[in-house]
Structures are given as structure tokens and as C-alpha cells.
Amino acid sequence: MLSFEASVNSNVVKKLKALIVDDDTITRMILKALLMKFGVETHEAKNGQEAILAHHSGACFDLILMDLYMPVMNGHQTTKELRDMHVCSLIVGMTSQEKEEEKKSFMDAGLDYYY
Amino acid sequence: MEQIQRKLAEYTASLYNEKILDEQFIQLQQLQDESNPDFVVEVVSLFFEDSERLLNELAKALNQTNVDFKKLDANVHQLKGSSSSIGAQRVQRVCISFRNYCDDRNVEGCLKCLQQVKIEYTLVKNKLETLFKLEKQFVDAGGSFPVV
């Protein structure tokens, strides 16, 4: 599978699909608008459980933007579960937390990048 | 129209000079385009709704005999996040102090921060509402904003 960056830069016509996993409506709106500027088809999940259910229903995404702190199922748990399901999407973690050990733990759950 | 344009430019500059808004607001404006013409107003309106709900929750939480600092911190974290998302710098900064008082379980500190965050929120709300009014006057007078 092409990396997200390579896909954007290549002449591949296939529309990229992204899943935004965040409990905050404003964050989802902003990320959706940003991704749409790049022609990315966006989907949303309000928490990790919705993200897992979407995958169980057969959805797959090129990119998953994953918030850390969410009700019902947090980003750490969700990322780990998606990787256990052999989901190979690019998963980028997002959080304003500054504690290094929390960032490292989130990365260790299976993120590709952290923002 | 030139007078309105100048007034709008000066007012906008003052919002950044007084640190009421930061560059995140500019980034929001850059996401607005012909396919999403009311994006900024929609996001900001949602911020107003969310903030007012959160401020009520914070006041309720601090009014309890046994303050639930975990719940308090979660609400302040949310307010910090949404204020940061729209560039409401001064609101965000008070939230940072607020969270520190939550960590210290300092009720008095939290109450002071709640008062301060209400002041900063009211200020940014009034300023943004005035900004949107000026932008509307500018457009009604025949002005247009560059499409990104």
C-alpha cells in the first residue's frame, strides 16, 4: 500500500479515505475541512468504539486521525485494537498532552506518527 | 466601501495585537472557500454553544460540597481544546492555569480561574460577533474576500 504522502504526490486517481476519530465536534469539523482541501474523502467517529465498529462493518481507510482522550474507548485502546485486527492504515495520533510517557505509550500502541 | 474596508482591517489587526486571537484563526479562515462559505461562522457558533455549556458545567461542579476535580479537569481540558482550535488565545491560557489548579485540588484557585475564563470568553465572543458584523457590512457594500 502506498504511504499517504506518496499517494498524495503521485498521479494515482483513487480518492484517499480518512477516518477522523475525535469526541470534539469542532476538531472533527476543522480536520474534515482541511482534508477536503486535499480532496480526501472523510468519515468521522466520535469515539474509539465507533471506529472499531466501522472497521467490523468492512470499512477501510488510508489514514486514521486518532485523538487520545475520548469517552467510551480512548485512542490508545482503539489503536491497539485496530492493529490487533491487522488494520494497516496510517494511524496518526493527536493530543495536546505534553507528558512524554503518555506520548510514548500512545506511539507504542501502534501509531505511525504523532501530532 | 473603502472606509468599511479600513475599519475591518484595523479591527482585525487589533484582535491579534491584543492577543484575543492567534494565527489558528487565520488558518480557520483559510479553510473557508466557495464550497464551504460559512465555515468560520459555523465553527465559531459551535464554539460559543460548547463554551457556554462547559462554563455552566464548571460552575455547577465548583458549587458542589465535594468537588469532583477529575470531572472539572475533563471539562476544562475540553474548553482548552476548543478555544485553541479557533484561536481564542486568552481563553486557552486561562484554561492552562485552571488545569494546574485542578491538579492541585485548589478550589479557590479554580474559582478565580472560572471568573477569569468567563471574562475572557465574553470578550472573545463580543469581539468575534463585531468582526462578523463588520465582514457582513463589507460584503454588503460590494467587497469580497480573496478565495484561497
β-pair partners for B33? B36
Predicted confidence (pLDDT) at residue A2 exceeds the cutoff of 60: no
Domain at B1-32+39-137: CATH architecture = Up-down Bundle (1.20)
CB neighbours (10 Å) of residue A34? Answer: 18
Q: How many domains does chain A have?
A: 1
Sheet arrangement for strand A90-94: A41-45, A17-21, A63-67, A90-94, A113-114
- Which CATH number is A66's domain given? 3.40.50.2300
Q: Which range marks the domain in which residue A57 is found?
A: 20-114
The residue ranking higher by pLDDT, B61 or A99, is: B61
d(CA B8, CA B30): 17
Decide if A24 contacts A45 (C-beta within 8 A): no
Nearest CB to B85 within list A27, A36, A69: A27
Nearest CB to B81 within list A36, A37, A96: A96
On chain B, the residues whose CB falls within 8 A of the CB of A27 are 81-82, 85
Residue B43, min C-alpha distance to chain A (Å): 6
C-alpha cell at A83: 492493529
The residue ranking higher by pLDDT, B16 or A97, is: B16
Mind listing the pLDDT tens digit for each residue in B63-80? 999 999 999 999 999 999
On chain A, the residues whose CB falls within 8 A of the CB of B96 are none
The whole-number average pLDDT for the span A34-63 is 96
- The pLDDT value recorded for residue A103 is 86
- The pLDDT value recorded for residue A7 is 54
Distances (CA, A) of B8 to A100, B36, B88, B124, B140: 43, 22, 19, 16, 13
Mind listing the pLDDT tens digit for each residue in B87-101? 999 999 999 999 999
Region label for A72, one of left (φ > 0), alpha (ψ between -120 and 50) or beta (otherwise): left
Strand residue runs (E) in chain B: none
pLDDT band per the 50, 70, 90 thresholds, residue B147: very low
d(CA B114, CA B146): 39
- The pLDDT value recorded for residue B145 is 74
- The pLDDT value recorded for residue A3 is 57
